[in-house]
Structure 1
Amino acid sequence: MPSITVHGFAFQGVDGWVLTMPDPVIERLLAPAPGLLPHLDKPHIVDAGGSFAEIETLFRRIADEFTGIGPGRLLSIQACLELILVWLARQVLSERERTLSVQSRAAAHARRFRHLVETGFREHRTLDHYARGLGITTTQLNRVCRAVFAKPALGVLHDRLLLEARRNLVYTSMTVAEVAYTLGFADPSYFTRFFIRATGAAPSDFRRAQRERMSRNPPGPTGMTAT
């Protein structure tokens, strides 16, 4: 718990220690390794895990030295504090590296998923099919898409279908039924329902509105729509 952090402790049925150190003391103890200080600048909960016995020994040693009168007690306490601070900084750094690794893997899965969708969106494959291709579960796939695209995997699939549907409706002379079949819909009425649910307009109405807008704002000299 860094300084200038509003906090409180509620002790009930616990056994342990609370260790408080002023900032100057921490800075002095870590002066030989200043790169560790930034890892202790935010509140953090660290799981001792396999290091529990080692850390417990250090805390117990500090408690014993604090209440004792043995020679060199302050030096002993300082040595224990240095070891605890180094351990804490290493644990926080390790956790941050694991988080970055997870984020990196999520981004890689997201890119691969986008590629698979691009090559197969007309085939209306299941999410399980895409997840198996990525070597993850559908739950993990949804988690990745929410983290990277801010929407579930099915939303990514639907967005790609809608993009192609809009392009075909505006820039081709295909009928609505032909657009539906081109996009892999077995029934044009299902495509219409899908389009209305996603856009709030029927495909024919969308086409008409877009073409009217384009006729009012024809492409300029650079190929961009004039405004």
Structure 2
Amino acid sequence: MTHSAMAKDRPKSSSKAKVTSVPKVRLYVEPPEEKNWFVHVGHVTDRGRWRTEPHAHPAYGQLIFVRSGRGVMNLEGSNLPFEGPCALLLPTECVHGLDYEVDADRWVVTIEVAYLTQINAKLHEFITLWGLPRMIPLSYSTEAGVEFFNLIKSLKQEVESDAVGHVVATEALLTTLLLMLVRETRLDQTASESATRNDIRLVERFRKLIDEHYRENLPLQEYASMMAVSLVQLRAACASATDQSPTKMIHARIITEAKRNLIFGDMSVEQIAFGLGFADAAYFTRFFRKEVGQAPSQFRAAARQ
């Protein structure tokens, strides 16, 4: 289904109601006193069971190092068990809930989204790493858990330090931490390794614009114009950095939001369709079935069961 086909049924809407029913929170831990920060490290220990309801934090990416303990992470409605030592990677806007079933010792690294974009531009694999929420086990060897723990402790010390070069040291340690996760995670190399930094930056800008405008059914040319590039450049960058077309990326964002509303919200399928910019529920149902393989009502029933 092409973007132009969607345009026939999905008019631009001047009144776009927010349909997301998932709470949006700023920080999982208390922020530092200074305003100009880009990384925060917190250490949390709780006795017994500890739980958070599904939520998202659009301005931050988070890495939770579970040194010990176990639990279940709810990711967009699906449950993923985990046991320390492991790392839980939570990209911006990722809807997640956490249920620690036993005493847990965990370290939370919160990364401001603008700086996370800079980090991702350093290495194509970083974009792949943050492309999906994931649980990365570190229990296969004692050395892996210890090495990761030592990196976290060093990062916390530098973040809280006023010593000369502490910002440079923080950046270096954070990069090393993420690089270790890349190497520990057997990532599927779906995108071309020849993607340039310019391609990666362009695609990151495109993702941000999609997040801002996916309900409006903008033509691809309008996205390209906002980024001051040609359609050819946009398509080439998306193919190089993500192995997807621009239209596919837009469709994926619409489907993600539709799934969130179906799982966590109480709106009808028709209300969700209108909130996402579709002219009628029937077309939304056809679009959703083509992308997901199920009708929205079927997906909702299966996910909640």
- TM norm structure 2: 0.36
Q: Which has the higher helix share?
A: 1
Relative to its length, the structure with more strand (as a share) is 2
Greater relative contact order (Cα < 8 A, sep 6+) = 2
Structure of higher CA gyration radius: 1
